[in-house]
Chain A
Amino acid sequence: MSNEANLHGHTEIVTTHDVHHDEHHVHHQETFITKYIFSQDHKTIGKQFLITGIAWAVIGGLFSVLFRLQLGFPDQTFPILETFFGRYARGGQIQPEFYYALITMHGTVLVFFVLTAGLSGTFANLLIPLQCGARDMASPFLNMLSYWFFFLASVVMISSLFVSTGPASGGWTMYPPLSALGDANQGSKLGTDLWLVAMALFVVSSLLGGLNYISTILNMRTKGMSMTRLPLTIWALFFTAILGVLSFPVLLSGFILLLFDRNLGTSFYLSDIFVSQTGQALANEGGSAILYQHLFWFLGHPEVYIIILPSMGIVSEVLAVNSRKPIFGYMAMVGSLFAITILAFLVWAHHMFVTGLNPFLGSIFVLLTLLIAVPSAIKVFNWLTTLWRGNIRFTPATLFSIGFVSLFISGGLTGIFLGNSTIDIHLHDTKFVVAHFHIVMGVASFFGMFAGVYHWFPKMFGRYLNNTLGFIHFWVTIIGAYLIFWPMHYEGLAGVPRRYLDLSGWHNFNHFGELNKMITVVSIIVFAVQLMFIFNFFYSVFKGRKVRHQNPWGATTLDWTTPIRPGHGNWTGEIPEVHRWAYDYGKDGREFIPQTEPIGKGESHH
């Protein structure tokens, strides 16, 4: 289905079409507000998501530095903390309520606001129209709303940090009854209501975006761009959007019921509760606290794939481009993405093995969970084979992609421990879990995101990021990530529970003081290097080396057939037609063959 065919009757896009015939005319029409704020250009919206995501990443990362200070140096005082946070850091020490608020917000911010909105939002917006060959999204207006709902969610979430009873502090999973009872937990007062409202707005944003991504990929590909000619980035973003559209509404329903329980006296999650702080037994009976966990993890597990799939797509693309080789096993890559998407919906209860879940049900979830390792293994082997006998250029994006594969292996393998209910009895809710998901979903996804930023920065801003800073960024981050999270597995094996801010009262957990100090110091260094990256980012937006070549990486995909600084509508003149798949690198002795080049007469078949 060609994009041009869709244009008839679409006044929106027809005007953008005019842009290219009469650029001056349009320049006068676009004000600062329509161009940079309420923009409907997918590229601008992508940048808005990215920059908002960066702001959130700084906040979320700073929170982790603060609670790492407590974990690494539980006996020391930091008077500067009291200066900034007042009673939350009385005497220069992080108070328990503050600690729990910090970890809750760290999790929420990083999982949803950075690695979902910041990652999918950025690259789906930027790449889907560019790589499919479309002038814009199916609905640029809804796309704009998607960002502004995200922005609204951000405002509400930020405001929750400033209420007098503090932000939500029930853990990022927000399990009731803890999150439902303001009397049992300071953060479960107004902070949690604001948290829930912000998340509801976030779900709306995510659905508007996701529906748009799906319809654009299905309907607006340029002539000749069959689904099997799409780059893997688009496949990955496509499955990500499907996961989000099918699972976020379930999360929303879970949140709404929680709002009802909190404010309207319903008993969906509450039963048999006596709050010792007030000495009151609550009237609620017959609810099930576990119901919430089912609703939460029905999104919660797909969510980790929502986070990692875009990175997988980016890494596949970057590795192929910079190995100067086709991605190995394209169809297997698509197939394994598909398998992961299906299985992602069938494994949620592996987060609940020790909730009293029926053991038989548990065993089914063990089977389905460990099955995911098969498509994951296929992906890893295919990436390895893509590197094999390549001619690899180590741009910062390539390095981050290689780092991604390394972290994905390390973190993926520990998932095999946790997905096995027998071992999970021992490791559940210990630091092992923290180490596992930070490596595989946190750091690995960040690596994919960094790879994407370094690789497509020239497309976004017409300038390059500084390479030397990029290399420092990569090396410090990967070494730091392993130093922080590798030894943390051992703490988990020793049974140290997560979400403990002070181990000094425990005889069996209190022998990791040195280790925790080391981890804290390294995380501060890593955080500082991320700030350096952000500096590099903004400096290079304005002062970076200019891109002079339309296709700086020698890539085959359509995004590099647009002008160096594409306007709204992406291509001047006709949208190019596609004649081949996206991975003709090194074919028939040629460096690369763009997708737009017709198949030659004597060309070999792959």
Chain B
Amino acid sequence: MQTFFIVLILAFGFLITFQIAKASEYVAVLRGEEKARKQTNRINAFLLLAFLVVGLIGVYYCNERLKGKILGESASLQGEKIDTMLYISLAITGVVFFITQILLFWFAYKYQESDKRKAYYYPHNNKLEIIWTVIPAIALTALVGFGIYYWFKITGDAPQNAMQVEVTGSQFKWEFRYPGRDGVFGKKYYKNISPEKSNPLGQLWDDPYNHDDAITTELHLVVNKPVKLIIGSKDVIHDVGLTAFRMKMDAVPGTPTTMWFTPKFTTKQMIEKSGDPDFVYELSCDQMCGKGHYGMRGVVIVETQEEYDRWIVSQKSQYSLAHPEATPQKTPPADSTKGVAVILKN
């Protein structure tokens, strides 16, 4: 019923507008088309100026309303560079934005049709044109320079001491694999994937490096310790989006990708910093992956080394979960180093 009324009101409003518009055409003819045209010309010129003024106020107002809802300090060292680049770009484009928009609407208003003025025949001016080719070129060179400098810093090789975590996306969840004590991920092959057989990533059990690898549903990271994510996907393209850290990388089936960064704040510190007791780092899928895309959420927990150590030893290796009968006691990944060493000797 409500919808019906809205449609009715819209139709009615439209009818009135149309009648007025049609009438204005007749009135124009009666009053002399030229005179009526000149009057609307003045009105539109004024409206253009008003649009500029109201628009600029709107830009300010919008910023006041929304600036508190975005960004916040980057939670990773690399993200700081991205923020710096963002602000450099904002400064340069901001200046251009205000100058050009003001000139555009001001000229439109100032040079509205008038009987007193004749348009100035001004087809070209090479000097001016060279100036406004060169200045943007210089500004852009600066932006490209900064951009590429930071880009190489961020996408360069991860430091030697970086911890490694494998991230695998699938419709519509994230799984994380830790390499265990040996620090090496065991081999896997996608045709071995079998959630029923407790092998969600297709690990090859005859590879001893696999025996201590643990699979988790949360991503635990250590504060101030660089982490390198090795990213893959089981089915379609996903994307590891870590907004708070300003990081993003696609998860492509068949082609592993990597990304590394250094978290700056633990989750607890962020709770204090933001004054939000429910704060949590989130991992969002940023590449359209099907009907559950908007809910493909992962939780990231940044903690101190001690907290992390305590957590990681409590994680059971996937090998032990997949082989409950074969491995009665050698379960926790923390202890699995010996077992691996033995098998390696064989």
Chain A interface residues toward B at CB < 8 A: 78, 80, 96-97, 100, 169-171, 175, 177-178, 181, 184-186, 270-277, 279, 281, 285-290, 323-332, 354-356, 359, 362-363, 366-367, 370-371, 373-374, 377-378, 380-385, 387-394, 399, 402, 405-406, 409-410, 413-414, 416-417, 420-423, 425-426, 428-430, 466-469, 471-472, 475, 478-479, 482, 486-487, 490, 493-495, 497, 499-503, 505-509, 511-512, 515, 528, 532, 535-536, 545, 583, 585-589, 606
Q: Do B105 and A406 touch (CB < 8 A)?
A: yes
B220 close to chain A: CB less than 8 A: no
B5 close to chain A: CB less than 8 A: no
Against A, the Cβ 8 Å flags (1 = close, 0 = not) of B116-146 are 0111111111001100110011001001101
Q: Do A478 and B51 touch (CB < 8 A)?
A: yes
Q: Do A482 and B55 touch (CB < 8 A)?
A: yes
B interface, by DSSP: helix, strand, loop or mixed? Answer: helix
Known pairs A390-B119, A390-B120, A428-B248; A171 contacts B288 (CB<8 A) = yes
- In the bound complex, what is the Cα–Cα distance between A493 and B170 (angstroms)? 26
B293 close to chain A: CB less than 8 A: yes
Q: Do A367 and B171 touch (CB < 8 A)?
A: no
Q: Do B41 and A393 touch (CB < 8 A)?
A: yes
- Give every chain B residue within 8 A of A410 (Cβ-Cβ): 97, 101
Q: How far is the CB of A74 from chain B (nearest CB, A)?
A: 10
Q: Do B117 and A391 touch (CB < 8 A)?
A: yes
B305 close to chain A: CB less than 8 A: no
- In the bound complex, what is the Cα–Cα distance between A171 and B89 (angstroms)? 29
One of A323, A501, A508 near B243 (C-beta < 8 A): A508
- Beyond contacts A178-B288, A406-B104, A486-B59: 12 other A-B pairs, Cβ-Cβ < 8 A, are A277-B171, A289-B237, A323-B119, A328-B124, A332-B124, A374-B136, A377-B96, A394-B44, A394-B113, A402-B108, A468-B25, A500-B294
Q: Do A468 and B24 touch (CB < 8 A)?
A: yes
- In the bound complex, what is the Cα–Cα distance between A580 and B15 (angstroms)? 47
- Give every chain A residue within 8 A of B182 (Cβ-Cβ): none
- Give every chain B residue within 8 A of A96 (Cβ-Cβ): 291-292, 294
In the complex formed, the residue of A with least CB distance to B134 is A374
In the complex formed, the residue of A with least CB distance to B124 is A329
- Give every chain A residue within 8 A of B285 (Cβ-Cβ): 497
Known pairs A184-B290, A289-B252, A423-B85; A545 contacts B295 (CB<8 A) = no
The segment from B150-158, B208-216, B312-320, B330-338 found at the interface with A is B150-158
One of A272, A274, A420, A606 near B85 (C-beta < 8 A): A420
- Give every chain B residue within 8 A of A429 (Cβ-Cβ): 239, 241, 248, 286-287
One of A276, A425, A482, A508 near B282 (C-beta < 8 A): A508
Q: Do B143 and A420 touch (CB < 8 A)?
A: yes
Smallest CB-CB A-B distances: 7 pairs? A271-B254, A495-B243, A356-B257, A468-B21, A586-B119, A359-B155, A394-B44
- Give every chain B residue within 8 A of A367 (Cβ-Cβ): 144, 148
Known pairs A178-B236, A422-B82, A494-B71; A532 contacts B287 (CB<8 A) = no
- In the bound complex, what is the Cα–Cα distance between A318 and B178 (angstroms)? 63
One of A275, A330, A381, A515 near B66 (C-beta < 8 A): A515
Against A, the Cβ 8 Å flags (1 = close, 0 = not) of B153-168 are 0111000000000000
One of A289, A330, A356 near B123 (C-beta < 8 A): A330
Q: Do B123 and A326 touch (CB < 8 A)?
A: yes
- Give every chain A residue within 8 A of B196 (Cβ-Cβ): 279
Q: Do B291 and A276 touch (CB < 8 A)?
A: no
One of A286, A356, A385, A545 near B250 (C-beta < 8 A): A356
Q: Do B21 and A362 touch (CB < 8 A)?
A: no
Q: How far is the CB of B267 from chain A (nearest CB, A)?
A: 12
Q: Do B121 and A420 touch (CB < 8 A)?
A: no
- In the bound complex, what is the Cα–Cα distance between A186 and B231 (angstroms)? 26
Known pairs A177-B237, A417-B93; A493 contacts B294 (CB<8 A) = no
- Give every chain A residue within 8 A of B249 (Cβ-Cβ): 354, 356
One of A80, A171, A354, A515 near B239 (C-beta < 8 A): A354
Known pairs A423-B82, A478-B51, A494-B243; A387 contacts B104 (CB<8 A) = yes
- In the bound complex, what is the Cα–Cα distance between A606 and B154 (angstroms)? 53
Known pairs A288-B255, A394-B44, A428-B248; A330 contacts B124 (CB<8 A) = yes
One of B121, B248, B252 near A426 (C-beta < 8 A): B248
Interface centre among B58, B171, B250, B282 (most CB of A within 10 A): B250
The range of chain B's interface size is 35 or more
In the complex formed, the residue of A with least CB distance to B299 is A507
In the complex formed, the residue of B with least CB distance to A97 is B291
- In the bound complex, what is the Cα–Cα distance between A103 and B71 (angstroms)? 27
In the complex formed, the residue of B with least CB distance to A81 is B3
Known pairs A80-B3, A373-B140; A325 contacts B297 (CB<8 A) = no
B278 close to chain A: CB less than 8 A: yes
Q: Do A290 and B255 touch (CB < 8 A)?
A: yes
- In the bound complex, what is the Cα–Cα distance between A240 and B140 (angstroms)? 26
In the complex formed, the residue of A with least CB distance to B21 is A468
Q: How far is the CB of A268 from chain B (nearest CB, A)?
A: 12
Q: Do A468 and B137 touch (CB < 8 A)?
A: no
Q: How far is the CB of B3 from chain A (nearest CB, A)?
A: 5
Q: How far is the CB of A430 from chain B (nearest CB, A)?
A: 7
- Give every chain A residue within 8 A of B156 (Cβ-Cβ): 359
Interface centre among B58, B66, B246 (most CB of A within 10 A): B66
- Give every chain A residue within 8 A of B55 (Cβ-Cβ): 482
Q: Do B234 and A606 touch (CB < 8 A)?
A: no
- In the bound complex, what is the Cα–Cα distance between A331 and B293 (angstroms)? 49
Interface pairs (25), CB distance under 8 Å: A271-B253, A272-B190, A274-B193, A287-B254, A330-B124, A331-B124, A332-B124, A356-B257, A363-B152, A384-B107, A387-B104, A393-B113, A394-B113, A406-B104, A420-B85, A422-B85, A423-B89, A425-B247, A426-B247, A494-B243, A497-B284, A500-B294, A585-B119, A589-B118, A606-B124
Q: Do B25 and A545 touch (CB < 8 A)?
A: yes
Q: How far is the CB of B192 from chain A (nearest CB, A)?
A: 8
Q: Do A355 and B193 touch (CB < 8 A)?
A: no
Q: How far is the CB of A346 from chain B (nearest CB, A)?
A: 14
- Give every chain B residue within 8 A of A388 (Cβ-Cβ): 107, 111, 120, 122
In the complex formed, the residue of B with least CB distance to A383 is B104
- Give every chain A residue within 8 A of B70 (Cβ-Cβ): 490, 493-494
Give the residues from 3 to 54 in chain B that come closer than 8 angstroms, CB to CB, to chain A: 3, 10, 14, 17-18, 20-22, 24-25, 37, 40-41, 44-45, 47-48, 51
Q: Do A273 and B190 touch (CB < 8 A)?
A: yes
Q: Do B287 and A177 touch (CB < 8 A)?
A: no
Q: How far is the CB of A31 from chain B (nearest CB, A)?
A: 35
Q: How far is the CB of B5 from chain A (nearest CB, A)?
A: 12
- In the bound complex, what is the Cα–Cα distance between A583 and B336 (angstroms)? 82
- Give every chain B residue within 8 A of A275 (Cβ-Cβ): 235
Q: Do B248 and A425 touch (CB < 8 A)?
A: yes
Q: Do B236 and A495 touch (CB < 8 A)?
A: no
Q: How far is the CB of A189 from chain B (nearest CB, A)?
A: 13
B346 close to chain A: CB less than 8 A: no
Q: How far is the CB of B224 from chain A (nearest CB, A)?
A: 21
Q: Do B18 and A535 touch (CB < 8 A)?
A: yes
- In the bound complex, what is the Cα–Cα distance between A482 and B257 (angstroms)? 38
Q: How far is the CB of A293 from chain B (nearest CB, A)?
A: 9
B191 close to chain A: CB less than 8 A: yes
- Give every chain B residue within 8 A of A587 (Cβ-Cβ): 121
B195 close to chain A: CB less than 8 A: yes
One of B24, B58, B293 near A500 (C-beta < 8 A): B293
Known pairs A276-B171, A406-B105, A409-B104; A586 contacts B120 (CB<8 A) = yes
- In the bound complex, what is the Cα–Cα distance between A11 and B117 (angstroms)? 51
B184 close to chain A: CB less than 8 A: no
- In the bound complex, what is the Cα–Cα distance between A286 and B254 (angstroms)? 8
Q: How far is the CB of B38 from chain A (nearest CB, A)?
A: 9
Q: Do A487 and B62 touch (CB < 8 A)?
A: yes
Q: How far is the CB of B76 from chain A (nearest CB, A)?
A: 11
- Give every chain A residue within 8 A of B119 (Cβ-Cβ): 323-325, 389-391, 585-586
In the complex formed, the residue of A with least CB distance to B79 is A426
- In the bound complex, what is the Cα–Cα distance between A420 and B256 (angstroms)? 24
B264 close to chain A: CB less than 8 A: no
Q: Do A466 and B154 touch (CB < 8 A)?
A: no
